[in-house]
Amino acid sequence: MAEVQNGYANHKLNFEVIRSPAVILHPAGEIPAGGPATYFLSNLDQNLVVTMKTIYCYPASGRRSTERAAEVLRTSLEKVLVYFYPFDGRFGVDEGGKLVVRMNGGGVPFVEAAAECEMEELGDVSLPEPARLGGLIYCPPAESIFETPLLTIQVTRFKCGGFALGMAMSHSLADGLSTVEFLHSWAEIARGLPLSLPPFLDRSILKSRRPPAVEFPHPEFSDLAGSLSTSDSFSSIPLIHKSFTFDADKLSRLKLLATANGESPPPTSFAALTGLVWRARTKALKTPSSDPTKLLFAVDGRNRLNPPLPTGFFGNGIVFACCICPAGELVEKPLSHAVRIIQSAAREVTDRSIRSAVDYFELTRARPSLAGTLVLTAWTRLGFGATDFGWGSAAQTGPAELPTREVALLLPENNGGKGTVMVLGLPASAMKEFEEMMKF
């Protein structure tokens, strides 16, 4: 019996997605060296127990019929799972209380679906709207993370012949770069090619030191809840999500605004955008002046470690740089002040600080608290859209939803645009003020 999901709608779209029953896929062959019974997850993986839900849209074209797209994606996924075999397992806990992957053959659910609309009616998928896009992602019911698949795939065919690939992947298994490398490997096999970059799966190179040595303070793990003058109501207020596009001209204006008098060179686009969002969001939420506000932003540690992580490292190579500033100071001082704090935090991510963070978790099992916090991450240079399964690159990609309420995301502009898109969620009253601050 096919499953019918109704009501994935916004003001311009109301459509049905009809799903066929899920098929559970497994690696199509022996995994290397038989594979371990338990797959190790590093301390950098332990902090990211969220599911990333992303969508990749492939319009119909004269280049190649999409009639067999689901079959091609299914058979090639089974083949690529031989190399990325941890997706075949499920979470477990080791004797030390940390997450591992139990290689129990739980498998990867794969669903074929049909949408009762044309693909162009989807609109811009860079705006994360679960009510509109959730029908393109398959998430089977699970009572706990130990029953939740580490990867699910849905291929949805539209009336026009185009199809959307919807993917739900555990962030503990892969950060953005590893996710893209997995997609590119899958796409190579779908096109009949050998892997150009086989994954490096041994995460034990990120084990804590013996004995653990915490060399630095780690404010990224600090809980601000006790320092806030009011309860952190942000966690319960309904949010609306909006996207803001910054083209080349607007980014140039922003970098000029973010440059202190006489300072040279201007900040990077990332530092300027991050400072803008942190400052404007704090102001829009009317955070009391004396309250601290925290910013966490993802930094790729692969080449900051000594030695660097191996090429093709599969896992989480990111760490969170942390900035904490009184809200009043942040919003009253110029944007360049916020940018300098961000630049300083980024410079502090070194081999020693990353090793110290790994050891800090080993000793404390602490996870970053998100009270009074903005989490910002950038997908602008990852190349999600370049994935070609045989039907060309994706016309557009985006997140079906943000992993937590505190996240803001930087994305490349869809449909060939050269700008940067920023998406976030805020209460309606705060969003109106935030929008005004995006006009410059």
Instruction: Please tell me which residue, 419 or 295, carries the higher pLDDT value.
Output: 295
| CA gap 433, 440 in Å, rounded | 14
Determine the Cα angle at 71 with ends 106 and 76, to 5°: 60
pLDDT tens, position by position, 36-62: 789 999 999 998 999 999 999 999 987
Residue 23 pLDDT class (50, 70, 90 cuts): very high
* Residues acting as catalytic residues: 171, 388
The pair of structure tokens assigned to 154 is: 């849905």
pLDDT at 262: 66
- Residue 233: predicted pLDDT: 63
Alpha helices in 37-175 (DSSP H): 43-46, 69-80, 130-133
195 lies in the same domain as 259: no
**pLDDT tens-place string over residues 378-432:** 998 888 888 999 999 999 999 999 988 999 999 998 877 788 999 999 999 999 9
For the cut 70, the answer to whether the pLDDT of residue 7 exceeds it is no
The verdict on residue 208 lying in a domain is no
**C-alpha torsion sign, points 239, 240, 246, 250:** negative
Inter-residue contact 150 to 24 (CB < 8 Å): no
**Cβ proximity of 47 and 105 under 8 Å:** no
| Distance of alpha carbon 400 from alpha carbon 168, whole angstroms | 9
User: 3-state DSSP call for residue 405?
Assistant: coil
Q: How many CA atoms lie within 13 A of 327 on its CB side?
A: 21
Give every strand in the sheet of 373-378, ordered side by side.
240-246, 420-426, 407-412, 373-378, 292-300, 318-326
Residue 24 pLDDT more than 80? Answer: yes
Beta carbons within 10 angstroms of residue 172's beta carbon: 24
Tokens of 31: 């995994």
Say if residue 375's pLDDT is above 60.
yes
163 within 8 A of 72, measured Cβ to Cβ: no
Angle between helices 176-190 and 69-80 (to 10 degrees): 120
Domain range enclosing 312? 219-437
Position 212 in a domain: no
Domain count, the chain: 2
Q: Are residues 227 and 186 in the same domain?
A: no
Q: Is residue 211 part of a domain?
A: no
Any residues with CB less than 8 A from the CB of 276 and at least 6 apart, and which?
254, 258, 335, 338, 437
Same structural domain, 241 and 364: yes
Query: pLDDT band for position 130 (50/70/90)?
Result: confident
pLDDT tens-digit series, residues 184-242: 999 999 999 999 999 999 999 999 999 999 999 999 998 888 888 876 666 678 899 99
Q: Which CATH number is 123's domain given?
A: 3.30.559.10
Q: Which contacts qualify for 269-274: CB closer than 8 Å, 24 or more apart?
A: 269/420, 270/378, 270/380, 270/410, 271/339, 271/342, 271/343, 271/346, 272/335, 272/339, 273/246, 273/410, 273/420, 273/422, 274/339, 274/342, 274/376
The residue written with tokens 């580490």 in the block is 150
In this structure, the answer to whether residues 108 and 225 fall within a common structural domain is no
DSSP 313: B
Partners of residue 396 on adjacent β-strands: 57
CA dihedral (296, 174, 312, 79) in degrees, to 10, reads -160
390 and 347 share one domain: yes
Q: Rounded to whole angstroms, how far apart are CA atoms 70 and 147?
A: 25
Mean pLDDT of the chain: 91
DSSP helix/strand/coil, 72: helix
155 and 111 Cβ atoms separated by less than 8 Å:
yes
Q: Pick from 202, 236, 260: which residue ends a domain?
A: 202
Residue 247 covered by a domain = yes
Claim to verify: residue 309 and residue 401 sit in the same structural domain: yes
Question: Which residue's entry shows tokens 């630049």?
Answer: 343
Query: Sorting pLDDT into bands at 50, 70 and 90, what band is 33?
Result: low
Is 229 a domain residue?
Answer: yes
Q: Are strands 318-326 and 292-300 parallel, antiparallel or unpaired?
A: antiparallel
Is residue 279 located within the same domain as residue 174? Answer: no
Residue 187 lies in a domain: yes
> Pick from 144, 177, 202: which residue ends a domain?
202
Residue 278 pLDDT more than 70? yes
